[in-house]
Amino acid sequence: MGAPAVADLRWPRPVRPGETLWAQIAGLEMRVWNSRPSMGIVRWRGEVRNQEGRLVMSATGTNFFGRRPST
What is the model's pLDDT at position 7?
83
CA 39 – CA 4 distance, rounded (Å): 14
What pTM does this model have? Answer: 0.76
Per-residue pLDDT of the chain (71 residues; tens, 9 = 90+): 556 778 889 999 999 999 999 999 999 999 998 888 889 999 999 999 999 999 999 999 999 889 887 75
* CA nearest neighbour of 40 among 13, 70, 10: 70
